[in-house]
């Protein structure tokens, strides 16, 4: 770092730097790798992150990876330049103030340290025998390839996988065949070293099959019985594999239930993940997966369909009941538990959709269905309500169109909704590809959207009096 940039950067709260607009470019350009947090002092999430960020800054200082904070209430021009729209926003810079990528890790000290350490490494680190042990111990999950540099096909496949997954895992390569022998693995081979379960997992498939290798690495990176928390949830949710939550609030239950579950977890590896959720800390999540806050409890969530399969909470959680429950889930006999408000006895111009009638009304209907996904507390939803009611009345006599709405906080729906209100049109002849409405929230624009996108045959052409809008 140049003397000017070093003097300009002010150390705040241990080893976190602050820089101004005038200093920013030079500071970033002088550091091959840096993490920058754009924050506001009043932001609750920023306050929660602050101590974790400081711990990470101190740890990463030894690796010459600076962590920076930009107060957007002070450096508003810099934050505008970086197109900051929410707080905290974290960006990774690699020696170029004009280029950055979003930080994609969890907001904890350990996660930040691990993520930024990976960013500072090449996609694949070439290792000597002297470096091997320290490298393998550098992270919770480390991937090692044992084959020579001359094996161009294997190296090409491995390097491509490492580049794709480098944000999640540390990759190394060892040419020395004697190290493979010391580790008790074949040469050539790909090995996942981990600080849990069996410690070492050796890939036994086709070394040219990049998809199978990537899947093996991702699968082996997850503990047999893990833990669901803020740092791990996204890994489970993005895996595509159903997750069996073990909601437990008692130490004795933890020992008993994990003992019962372990053999099934081994048997179902790759088909179902198992993870403990501390019900004392995260018991409120039970309602999100259709459980009562009565523990211990088990539920499997299929993230692809968002369906939840509950172990009947009227039953005692025993080894026998767990076995029967998992057998029923795996066989496909277990019905999902649907969170739903009651189906209304009568319907108005705006059709009330609930969990129990969602498929019939939206997905199985031969009509074009416009659905507003809303939350009762959402201010924008409340503002839209009278307009949406008018929209329902406008199409009330149209046999080819349904105007509906669903409280997405009180009913299970088969897709994830990022914010409220979200409005989508499910066409009569293409229910799998709904069209999201992104226009103005007024009656005229909504009518135009439906009429332009509708694939059903309209019986009568409608007109609208613009003076009434």
213 and 236 within one domain: no
Tell me how crowded residue 468 is: count the other CB atoms within 10 A of its CB. Answer: 8
In-domain check, residue 138:
yes
Confidence of residue 464 (pLDDT cuts 50, 70, 90): very low
| pLDDT of res. 422 | 96
- Of all helices (H) and strands (E), which one includes residue 133? helix 129-136
| pLDDT of res. 100 | 93
pLDDT, the chain, mean: 90
Confidence of residue 455 (pLDDT cuts 50, 70, 90): low
| pLDDT of res. 461 | 44
| pLDDT of res. 414 | 85
- Condensed to tens digits (0 to 9), the pLDDT of residues 80-105 reads 999 998 899 999 999 999 999 999 88
- Condensed to tens digits (0 to 9), the pLDDT of residues 164-199 reads 998 889 999 999 999 999 999 999 999 999 999 989
152 and 61 within one domain: no
| pLDDT of res. 12 | 44
99 and 59 within one domain: yes
Indicate the DSSP class of residue 115.
H
Q: Which of 157, 185, 220 is the last residue of a domain?
A: 220
- Condensed to tens digits (0 to 9), the pLDDT of residues 191-246 reads 999 999 989 999 999 999 999 999 999 999 999 999 998 778 888 988 889 999 99
In-domain check, residue 181:
yes
Indicate the DSSP class of residue 359.
I
- Of all helices (H) and strands (E), which one includes residue 158? helix 152-165
Distance CA 114, CA 107 (A): 11
Confidence of residue 33 (pLDDT cuts 50, 70, 90): very high
Which CATH number does the domain housing residue 163 bear?
Answer: 3.40.30.10
In-domain check, residue 295:
yes
In-domain check, residue 393:
yes
Catalytic residues: 43, 46, 378, 381
241 and 194 within one domain: no
231 and 323 within one domain: yes
101 and 67 within one domain: yes
Which of 3-7, 272-276, 341-345, 352-356 has the least mean pLDDT?
Answer: 3-7
Dihedral through CA 155, CA 157, CA 160, CA 165, nearest 10?
Answer: -100
In-domain check, residue 338:
no
Residues 422-430 have a mean pLDDT of: 95
201 and 230 within one domain: no
In-domain check, residue 429:
yes
Per the structure, the count of domains in the chain is 4
Cβ pair 184, 167 in contact under 8 A: no
Domain residue limits at 303: 225-331
| pLDDT of res. 148 | 84
Q: Report which of 239, 243, 259 is spatially closest to residue 251, judged by C-alpha positions.
A: 259
49 and 131 within one domain: no
- Condensed to tens digits (0 to 9), the pLDDT of residues 325-353 reads 999 999 999 999 989 999 999 999 999 99
131 and 94 within one domain: no
């Amino acid at each position: 770092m140049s003397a000017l940039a070093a003097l300009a950067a002010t150390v705040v709260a241990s080893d976190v730097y602050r820089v101004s607009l005038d200093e920013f470019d030079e500071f970033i350009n002088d550091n091959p790798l840096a993490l920058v947090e754009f924050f506001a002092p009043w932001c609750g999430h920023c306050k929660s992150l602050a101590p974790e960020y400081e711990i990470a800054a101190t740890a990463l200082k030894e690796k010459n990876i600076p962590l920076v904070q930009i107060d957007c209430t002070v450096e508003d021009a810099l934050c505008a330049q970086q197109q900051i729209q929410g707080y905290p926003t974290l960006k990774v810079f690699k020696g170029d103030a004009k280029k950055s990528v979003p930080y994609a890790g969890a907001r904890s000290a350990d996660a930040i340290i691990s993520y930024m350490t990976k960013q500072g490494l090449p996609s694949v680190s070439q290792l000597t025998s002297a470096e091997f042990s320290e490298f393998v111990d550098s992270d919770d999950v480390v991937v090692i390839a044992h084959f020579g540099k001359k094996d161009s096909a294997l190296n090409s496949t491995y390097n491509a996988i490492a580049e794709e997954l480098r944000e999640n895992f540390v990759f190394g390569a060892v040419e020395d065949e004697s190290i493979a022998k010391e580790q008790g693995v074949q040469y050539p081979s790909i090995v996942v070293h981990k600080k849990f379960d069996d410690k070492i997992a050796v890939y036994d498939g086709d070394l040219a099959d990049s998809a199978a290798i990537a899947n093996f690495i991702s699968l082996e990176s997850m503990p047999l019985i893990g833990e669901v928390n803020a740092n791990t949830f996204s890994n489970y949710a993005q895996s595509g594999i159903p997750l069996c939550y073990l909601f437990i609030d008692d130490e004795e239950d933890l020992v008993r239930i994990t003992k019962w579950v372990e053999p099934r977890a081994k048997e179902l590896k790759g088909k179902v993940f198992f993870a403990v959720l501390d019900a004392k800390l995260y018991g409120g999540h039970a309602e999100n997966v259709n459980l009562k806050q009565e523990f211990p409890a088990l539920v499997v969530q299929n993230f692809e369909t968002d369906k939840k399969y509950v172990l009947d909470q009227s039953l005692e959680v025993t080894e026998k009941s767990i076995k029967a429950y998992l057998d029923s889930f795996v066989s496909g006999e277990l019905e999902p538990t649907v969170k739903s408000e009651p189906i209304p006895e009568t319907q108005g111009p705006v059709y009330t959709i609930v969990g129990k009638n969602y498929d019939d009304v939206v997905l199985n209907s031969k009509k074009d269905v416009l659905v507003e996904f809303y939350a009762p507390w959402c201010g924008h939803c409340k503002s839209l309500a009278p307009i949406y009611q008018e929209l329902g009345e406008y199409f009330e006599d149209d046999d080819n169109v349904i105007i509906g709405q669903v409280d997405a906080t009180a009913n299970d729906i088969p897709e994830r909704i990022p914010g409220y209100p979200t409005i989508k049109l499910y066409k009569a002849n293409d229910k799998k590809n709904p069209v999201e409405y992104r226009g103005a929230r007024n009656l005229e624009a909504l009518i135009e959207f439906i009429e332009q996108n509708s694939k059903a045959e309209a019986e009568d052409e409608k007109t609208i009096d613009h003076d009434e809008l």
